[in-house]
């Protein structure tokens, strides 16, 4: 272990003693098992210095940025559990089938490699070898693990669900008509993609062992060991309830049942399939980027599931009011706490503001 890493880990150990981590994990476990809080609901403040969902290169630069982030965050009393996250690329699973990456600004996609139903049978077996994005993530996860000698856990990377991967490989227009035109080919392709998803998730579990955190929702959250699997299913905004039940639900269930639970994210408004999604027995949690809690509830969100939500600190009192009045199980991230300048430059006035806001959130979480 490099000396500078050792010194930072020593500081982190002091900021996050076992008693603090155990108490926060207990709060999170109660949320994920549907139990009422003992002292208060858990919450975590959003990131300070960088976007977790953008890969940080070179690796040593990312390691330093994360360790510094953990140190700054350790000064507040939320329920953050230090953990590394590699990033997000939509080409992760497509690359396992040989699709080449396309980058536009900060967006990552892939070249289309399917042009006909016959091409589905020609798809190579999924690989996580050199040259694939999956290999990049595994290499970074291993680096974080080795450089800290397993003292800091590592999150699973953000992985797209099967329909979204098929949309990348073939185009959404094709995959959405396939179950009507050629249902056998549709099932064949979805099954191949699910195989790749399961293969990659299990490889991360194997690599990280006890240091594995099975969520990317959010990348700074912590979940219990039995929370199951998380995936992004942005294609749900394009689906109606009949399509979801007839042509998608079974594949989500297969993934969720394989890992003992399922947490699903989608951007946009997916109200049309909310009730159908929540009817999946293995579903544990739902996360939406654009829908409010009121919209989720109006669309039929099942309050017995975990609701993974992001809220501004100015709206935190209303957030906890909704949590209590609807008996929700909340996994809450709070934005708007940190000053806009770099942490190294924070003044006493900045810290006084942070403390006042932190106190208000904790009081709201206790009411």
CATH of the domain at 65: 3.20.20.210
Q: What is the mean pLDDT of residues 223-251?
A: 97
Q: In the structure, what pLDDT confidence band is assigned to residue 56 with cuts at 50, 70 and 90?
A: low
Rounded percentage of the chain residues whose pLDDT exceeds 90 = 90
H helices present in the chain, as ranges: 3-15, 18-32, 59-73, 92-96, 117-122, 133-147, 162-170, 172-181, 183-208, 241-243, 249-259, 274-278, 293-298, 316-325, 348-366
Average pLDDT score over the chain: 95
Q: Does 36 score more than 80 pLDDT? A: yes
CA atoms within 13 A on the CB side of 214: 25
14 is a domain residue: no
20 is a domain residue: no
Q: Does 31 score more than 80 pLDDT? A: yes
Domain count of the fold of the chain: 1
Here the tokens at position 190 are 């979805």
Cα-trace Rg, the chain: 21
Q: Does 107 score more than 80 pLDDT? A: no
8 is a domain residue: no
Q: What is the mean pLDDT of residues 139-159?
A: 96
Here the tokens at position 127 are 């690989």
Note the pLDDT of residue 55.
67
> Domain of 149?
34-366
Angle CA(284)–CA(171)–CA(108) in degrees, nearest 5? 70
Asked if residue 202 lies in contact with residue 208, where contact means CB atoms within 8 angstroms, the answer is: no
Q: What is the mean pLDDT of residues 299-306?
A: 97
3-state secondary structure of 259: helix
Asked if residue 318 lies in contact with residue 334, where contact means CB atoms within 8 angstroms, the answer is: no
pLDDT digits (tens, 9 = 90+) for 248-291: 999 999 999 999 999 999 999 999 999 999 999 999 999 998 99
What is the rounded CA–CA span in Å between residue 118 and residue 271? Answer: 35
Q: In the structure, what pLDDT confidence band is assigned to residue 50 with cuts at 50, 70 and 90?
A: confident
Note the pLDDT of residue 57.
65
What is the rounded CA–CA span in Å between residue 204 and residue 314? Answer: 37
Q: In the structure, what pLDDT confidence band is assigned to residue 297 with cuts at 50, 70 and 90?
A: very high
Phi, then psi, of 44 in degrees rounded to 5: -140, 135
19 is a domain residue: no
Q: In the structure, what pLDDT confidence band is assigned to residue 52 with cuts at 50, 70 and 90?
A: confident
pTM for the full predicted model:
0.95
pLDDT digits (tens, 9 = 90+) for 176-221: 999 999 999 999 999 999 999 999 999 999 999 999 999 999 999 9
Q: Does 363 score more than 90 pLDDT? A: yes
CA atoms within 13 A on the CB side of 72: 22
Pairing of strands 107-110, 101-104: antiparallel
Closest CA to 354 of 332, 333, 339, 334: 339
Q: Which residues have a Cβ under 8 Å from the Cβ of 231 and sit 6 or more positions away? A: 159, 160, 161, 197, 255, 262, 263, 264, 265
5 is a domain residue: no
The residue assigned the tokens 């077996």 is: 125
Note the pLDDT of residue 22.
98
Asked if residue 113 lies in contact with residue 98, where contact means CB atoms within 8 angstroms, the answer is: yes
What is the rounded CA–CA span in Å between residue 176 and residue 158? Answer: 23
Q: Is the previous residue joined to 58 through a cis bond, with omega within 30 degrees of 0?
A: yes
Q: What is the DSSP letter of 131?
A: T
């Amino acid at each position: 272990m490099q000396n500078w890493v050792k010194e930072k880990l020593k500081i982190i150990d002091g900021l996050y003693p076992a008693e603090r981590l155990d108490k926060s994990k207990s709060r999170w476990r109660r949320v994920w098992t549907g139990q009422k809080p003992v002292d208060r609901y858990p919450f975590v403040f959003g990131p300070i210095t960088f976007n977790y969902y953008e890969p940080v290169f070179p690796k040593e630069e990312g390691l330093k940025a994360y360790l510094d982030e953990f140190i700054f965050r350790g000064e507040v009393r939320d329920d953050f559990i230090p953990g590394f996250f590699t990033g997000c690329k939509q080409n992760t699973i497509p690359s396992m089938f040989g699709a080449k990456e396309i980058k536009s600004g900060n967006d990552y996609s892939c070249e289309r490699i399917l042009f006909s139903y016959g091409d589905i049978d020609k798809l190579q077996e999924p690989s996580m070898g050199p040259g694939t994005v999956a290999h990049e993530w595994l290499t970074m996860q291993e680096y974080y693990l080795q450089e800290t000698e397993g003292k800091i856990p590592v999150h699973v990377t953000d992985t797209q669900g099967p329909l979204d991967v098929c949309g990348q490989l073939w185009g959404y227009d094709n995959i959405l008509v396939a179950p009507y035109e050629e249902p056998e080919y549709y099932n064949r392709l979805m099954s191949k993609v699910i195989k790749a998803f399961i293969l990659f998730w299990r490889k991360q579990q194997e690599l990280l062992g006890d240091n594995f955190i099975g969520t990317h929702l959010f990348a700074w959250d912590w979940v219990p060991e039995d929370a199951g699997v998380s995936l992004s299913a942005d294609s749900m905004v394009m689906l109606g309830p009949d399509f979801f039940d007839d042509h998608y639900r079974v594949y989500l269930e297969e993934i969720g049942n394989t890992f003992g639970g399922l947490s699903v994210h989608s951007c946009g408004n997916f109200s049309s399939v909310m009730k159908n999604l929540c009817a999946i027995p293995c579903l544990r949690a739902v996360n939406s980027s654009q829908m409010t809690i009121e919209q989720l509830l109006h669309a039929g969100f099942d309050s017995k599931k975990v609701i993974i939500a992001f809220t501004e600190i100015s709206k935190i009192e209303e957030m906890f009011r909704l949590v209590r009045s609807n008996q929700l199980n909340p996994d809450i991230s709070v934005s708007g706490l940190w000053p806009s300048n770099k942490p190294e430059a924070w003044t006493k006035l900045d810290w006084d503001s942070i403390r006042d806001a932190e106190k208000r959130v904790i009081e709201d979480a206790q009411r």
